[in-house]
Amino acid sequence: MFKDITIGQYYPTDSIIHRLDPRTKIIFTFAYIVMLFVVNNLWGYIAAFALLVGVIIASRIPLSYIVRGVKGLIFIILLTVILNLFMTPGTEIASLGPLHITMEGVKVAVFMAMRLIFLVVGTSIMTLTTSPIDLTDGMEFCMKGIPFVRRYAHELAMMMSIALRFIPTLMEETDRIMKAQKARGANFETGNIISRAKALIPILVPLFISAFRRADELATAMEARCYRGGENRTRMNQLKFAKRDGFAFAMMFVMIAVFILSRLITIPLIFPA
């Protein structure tokens, strides 16, 4: 399950999305995430889905790779759906003992599931199509526009980039440790939630040790390359906006307009507003 998480990984290929300036992709992704929390009806989510499909096709990333990233978070998505399904008050349409399913609960559950899936896929596409160096440079540029973090923009961008890249590494390490524990007779799949949580405790110690070791190796490698932070740092490849970035920004403004207009459209026969 852990190895299915694709957030933080980079998928090298030649596509128009890969060739976009990292600043464009970061700003576009941020706008997309914000718009996901703006839409409140089915039309908005249809527009978000259509945009996501178009970006996936343009990025030339295999669909199986995208689906694999969603599979890694299926438990969180199901938990969110169940909580919203049974705990949202409104017009009751069914009941399971003391639990009641409402029309409003169905609406919120479906919308939250789509929102989480689109959020994960959209964020994954940004990291899958952006190399670590470009991602760091793009984050640094974007954060320099924020007054209270401008001074530490490079350090923050570097930390965020390293954290993103460590996600798949730590997930693979966790999966490897779990397999080693299973080979020694550990059981992570039976029992109640508390017993399963206790069974995961032996994984934490070697995982933390491995994480600290990797962090120390990374720090040593950076020092060996004379890394001294963002002060007086130069870049071999300067970031430059191209015509395709202008087209992407135009698409972003169209996306924002469509999402805002979608709030004015309701489908009362399916999901009443």
Q: What are phi and psi of 191, to 5 degrees?
A: 95, 175
Q: Token digits for 31?
A: 């706008």
What's this model's pTM, rounded to 2 decimal places? Answer: 0.74
Would you say 154 and 229 are in contact if contact means Cβ atoms under 8 Å apart?
Answer: yes
| Contact indicator for 36, 205 with CB cutoff of 8 Å | no
Distance CA 87, CA 102 (A): 9
Has residue 270 got a pLDDT over 80?
no
Give dist(CA 146, CA 218) in Å, integer.
28
Task: Round the CA-based radius of gyration of the chain to a whole number and report it.
Answer: 22
Please report, for the chain, how many H helices and E strands are present, in that order.
11, 2
Among 35-39, 66-70, 82-86, 212-216, where is mean pLDDT lowest? 66-70
Which has more confidence, 269 or 177? 177
Question: How far is Cα 166 from Cα 129, in angstroms, rounded to an integer?
Answer: 17
Predicted local confidence at residue 272, as pLDDT: 44
Helix (H, G, I), strand (E, B) or coil at 273: coil
pLDDT of residue 240: 83
pLDDT of residue 3: 54
**What pLDDT is stored for residue 29 in this prediction?**
92
Q: How far apart are CA 264 and CA 86, in angstroms?
A: 28
Q: Does pLDDT of 219 surpass 90?
A: no
Other beta carbons within 10 angstroms of residue 146's beta carbon come to 10
269 pLDDT tier (thresholds 50, 70, 90) = very low
Per DSSP, what are the bridge partners of residue 95?
Answer: 100
- Give the whole-number percent of the chain exceeding pLDDT 70: 89
Q: Which residue has the higher pLDDT, 273 or 80?
A: 80
Spatial CA neighbour of 54 closest among 125, 112, 156: 125
CA distance linking residue 183 with residue 178, whole number of Å? 9
Mean pLDDT of 34-57: 88
Flag whether pLDDT at 59 surpasses 50.
Answer: yes
Q: Which two tokens stand for residue 266?
A: 């309701």
Q: What value does the mean pLDDT take over residues 106-135?
A: 87
pLDDT of residue 253: 92
Q: Report the pLDDT value the prediction gives residue 266, as an integer from 0 to 100.
A: 60
Q: Interior CA angle at 221 toward 5 and 156, to 5°?
A: 60
Q: What is the DSSP letter of 150?
A: G
String of b and e for 60-81 (b: at least 16 CB within 10 Å)?
ebeeeebeebbebbeeebeebb
